[in-house]
Structure formats: C-alpha cells, structure tokens
Structure 1
C-alpha cells in the first residue's frame, strides 16, 4: 500500500492561555501561566483552590449572531462539547473547508477525544436528583447525550455535515494523541482525505477537583497558583488541572494542494504502548515511555538523532517527571543533550484528554517558527538530585533554534502511552 503524506491545514484552540491559536501561542512563548483561583465553583472546603481555567468563553461567540435557537442548542451540551465545537469552528474555518464547493463531505471524518466527557452534566444531574429524590427520578433528557465522551465528535459531524469516519477516543491523558494517531492513519492509508481531530475536556468541577485531590495528584500551592506547575523542579507537588479544547485538520497532501490550502506542518509518525505497571503511576524506569517513543520514531522512518524538540508529558509529578527524563536519556543517548525539551503544562496546566492536542499544536508551531516554548517556574537551585540537568529543559524562556522534527508525548492513567511526530513542511 502506498502511504500518503499527511499535513495540517487548520488549527483551533480554546485554552487557559487564550481562546484562539494566536493568543495561546503568543502566551506560551512569553511564559505566561494560565493558573488562577477557581471560579467555576466554591472551593472553600477543597484542598486545591486553583486551576488553569478557560477565561472569557462565551457560547454566543460561536453561533450566528441573534440566533436564539442555535445558542440554545449549543448550550444544551456539556462544557467539554462546547469547547470542542468552538475549537472545531476555528479550525474548519482556518482550513477553508466550508468555502470549498468541491469538498466531498461524505469523505470528511471526525475523530475527537475526551478523557472524562460530560462530568459537569453528570455531577449536576446527580446533585439535582439527590435534592429532589422524594419526587422520583427526574433527569434531563439531555443527560446521556451530554455526558457521553463521544458527543464532541458527533456534534462536530452534525454541525458541518461531515459523514466520514466518526467516533470518540478515550485513553485518559493520552486521549487526543490517540485520536490524532487514528486520524493520521486514516488519511495516510487513503481511507479519508480529511479528518477533523483533537480533544477537549472540562473537568474543573467539585467531582473533578475533589477526585484528584483525594488521590493527592494535584498541587496544593494555593498561595501561588501561577507557579504551582513546575515540571522537573525538586519542589513540584503535583499537577495543575486545566480545561479547554483544541482541534486540528489532518489532510492528505495532494488534496490540500489541489484546493490551495495553507499548510502548517506535516505529521509523519505515531506510536502507542502500555506501561503494564500501575493504574495511575508511570513505570519508574520509563519502560513504556521509551517504547512508545521508539515506535513513533520507527513509524516516522527517522532516527532518534533526527528529533530536535520533545514536548514532554511533564505533568509536575515526582514519579512521572523522573521516568520520562530517564526514558529520553535511555533512548536518545548522547543526542538527548542536543535536544530541546519542554513541558508546556507548566503554563496550560494538565488539560487531561485535550492535552495531547494542544501539545501537538505547540510542536507544529515550533517547527513552523523555529522556536521552542519554555518550561516555566524553575527557580535557581530548585534541582532534583535524581534528574540530569545537563538535559536542556528550556527553563523559563523560549529558545530560538532550528526545529525540523518535533515529538510530543502523552501518558495516561491505566498505563496508556501515545506519541506523535510532526515536522516542518517542505514541498
């Protein structure tokens, strides 16, 4: 089978750093933290009182002006689906898909993921029932369709009449990278010329924050939220939960050229593996992390020495950061010291099922503009004795360098590992 080249022709982003791609990327390069006090609910009784929330999001901005029916329909669905719809609108318009009269919408697919799905909706409906239990079960007819994790993919498909492959992906924090690998595979093998892909998440609610608090997974640096996500620093005390949605348009190269689409970059490989170790912790020796990077590099037809930048999973947890750094050293050998490494979760927080998509976006932009976004919040002397600081973690300040090839890692609870590789587009 002749494999086709896959390029990225559209981008959309709703993130803690901005409600569009330009603002998100600009703030990432500037080292801006998206963290702040939680506004979605009262955190008085919670151990963690901050998160990386989306700011200034208005449903009205993503439906036709004055169309009350469209607005009502948009708001029927969980916030994670709203973020997905907003990001998809940006990406579809950016790619010029709607203005292409020759586009065969029967062949355009949507493969989109969410790690948790409609947790807001589920929490609200269960809470409402608990308060009104004496009157019998009275749930919204939208409970199930708003809650299920495939609805973002379904709603995007319905909105634009895209009748190609359509489904949701769930693999915890590896979700949107798995969705993108599936999209890449469909396009590369000629099963669809265009796939709308990415991920979204809206977990900042009592159940989401309280659940992660109970696991002792979240930072509790309540006195300084903006510095709480500090990957690879000795003083890290857990991740900062984030939210948002990011969408990318994957397109077969000749199809994109034929319609004169702009091209942001090229997708060249993907890999998947399992830690087969623990339900939440990474393998301490980084075995799964090393294996997934090896597989992605092999799939891309390159060597480890071809990689210039790794956007690491880097959540700011003790075991996770150590295992990933070890895996990079074990796989890349001496070349590990020539790489730029950065964890953009230091700025976006951990967007769970959406994190792979935003980090792929950052990787594509790094290749396009030859600049690596930083890992912020590292203080002088805040060094973990178990981490090799000869590695270039791109601490605190973006670095200009040639980035031809970038690798993005995402690892999820359950031991799910996924990596995707992008490169600078050259005709």
Structure 2
C-alpha cells in the first residue's frame, strides 16, 4: 500500500475505496472486530463482511503497539489475526486444535473442520429444491439458486454481462484488461486466477487426487468426480425438451440441443467449418497448421492431439478399458462405448428433419440428410456414378476393387 501513514491511523480498503479512520474512533482492542455498512465506527463481529482488501493495524513506534503487532487480514468469509513479526511470516495467532483424521489438516474451530470433512465424505447437506444438487454451505446453495432464478447481482462495468458470484466477475473483468497474473512455471501459460493455475498444473504433474468410491477411477478435479458419480446413481436431471433424453450436466444438454438445431457456434477462421464445442474447434484448427507433435512409438504415426495418440496406442496394445455391461465388448474410448450402448437400448437421438428417420450417430444422420438433396458432388472416376457423401464414394470404390 503506497504512502506513509500515521501510527494512529487504520487503513481500510473496502470495495476499492480507501478509508482513513483515526484509531481512537475505532477503540480497537484484542479480539474486537470492527464493521459497519456505511461508517466504520461501530464494534461488531465481522461474519459475512464483503471486502476486496486488507485492514492493517500498525504498531506504535518502538513498541508492539496496542494490538501487539498483530495484523488482521481477510480470509474467505472471516477475519483472522496474523502476526507481523520478523520476516513477516504471518502465522495465525492461536493454535489450531481441530485436526482432520483423513488428511491431517488442522483447523482453529470445529465448524471449519466439519465443513472440510465433507470434502472427503462427499456430503452435501444443503439441497437445491429445483435440480437436487447438494452443497456443503448454505451460502453456496443461495448462490446456486440464482442460476435457476436468473438473478445476477454482480454486473460488469465494461459490458452488459452479469454474474452470480463476485469472484466470477473479477475473473471476467481481467478478460477486458487482458490481465493474467498467475503464470505456470512449467509451460509459461498465464491465468486470471490462482485456482485455474492450480487445476492447470495437474496436467504437468498427472495428479488425480479425487477418487470414485464406487469404481476407483480418479480425477484431477472434484467437479469431474461429481459428474462421474452421477453415472453410478443414474441421475439425469437435465432433460431435452425435444427428445426427452436425460443428461448429467446442463452443459451436456446444451451440446446435445445443437444436434436438433444444427447450431455450430464455434467457427474455424481458416475454412469456416463450425463446431459445437470450442475444444472441437481447437482440435480442428491444429490440422491447418500441419504440426503433429505427438508421435506413436510403435508405428511412427503422428497426431495433433495427445488424446488422439493415446487412443491410437490402444490399437497396438489391444487395451480396451471401457467394457459394455450387456455384451462385454471392450472399447478403447468411452465415447465409442456410449455409442455402442445405444444398440442395446434402441436409442437413436439424431433425427432427420425431412423424413423423421432416426440414427445413432450424428455423422450417419448428416449423410442421410444429403440423400434428400439432388446434389451429388462426389463422382467415381471408374464408372461415373455420383454420390452425395465422400464416405459412400470411398465405400463404392472399395467394392469395385474387390
């Protein structure tokens, strides 16, 4: 904090406004917390105080001062007393006596330990009455409820967008300023917030700390584990209004809805091809550059994406980790198993908008739609026959050769 302040002054940074209040008006003593909505003069507990900054109680010259050289800093939803001694280590005053039996982490109060324990047990006592999602804290449930009501109290000053939570607004504003203060030491990639950096770092370390208690599969992120757990429970709260298909996540439903509307919002700048997901677009864009950094050790074939190489490698090893529960057939990729499972269930989610014929795969539906058109741009140079789809032409040529 720039500038020199009187030892009889306390500095408050609240919602980016600088407050200078004489310490005598605060009457600060050990264990006393200060809070007011308008004027910071009343003694109250600080639970729930919204702040973006730091309150420092400076020491008297030549002594530890009235507060014993303690600094109060904002940590999540409460103030904590932290020492400002030699070296500025900032250790929390008082001994944390409540230790987690699962991971050994210690807490100063039992309520904090109880909340932390839920990260191990998966307990979510606060349930949403609309979608059934559970939360560890009532405040998290209140924030979640705004998704259903459409309420977005945190507005961006630079664009019309609104957000449910303040930290989401902070991250968003950094996109306008292009500020990315958190940089990965392994690859140099920068991020707007530290939590995203920590998640990214697991790509390099391979860390997957969140394990499924049912099947043992591990995940790098807790959110991925929660989504996976719904596969075992059969929970499908998000239903398509067109075909009534259920989905674990709302994002999956949004992507599915595009199969009905034909929407492809993510366009390739090079060729104009559209995609339902930005990840699909990124994969496609790498094909234009011609760079294929991921090479197979067995056959030398190169791939633009590491995930594609891993799937390819299973062809050499014969590994099929994803098995069908009905017939036992194994698949190298989970998406292939999902498509195969539709054979047993009879599900055909992709419908032709012209004749209402249903298909298991979107690619098969797209080929069929072309059959309604008189356009057949693919011509066989052997017999002169025209085809609406390139794959049909290739199949035709193979038949001629055999």
TM-score (norm 2): 0.23
Structure number, greater radius of gyration = 2
TM-score (norm 1): 0.22
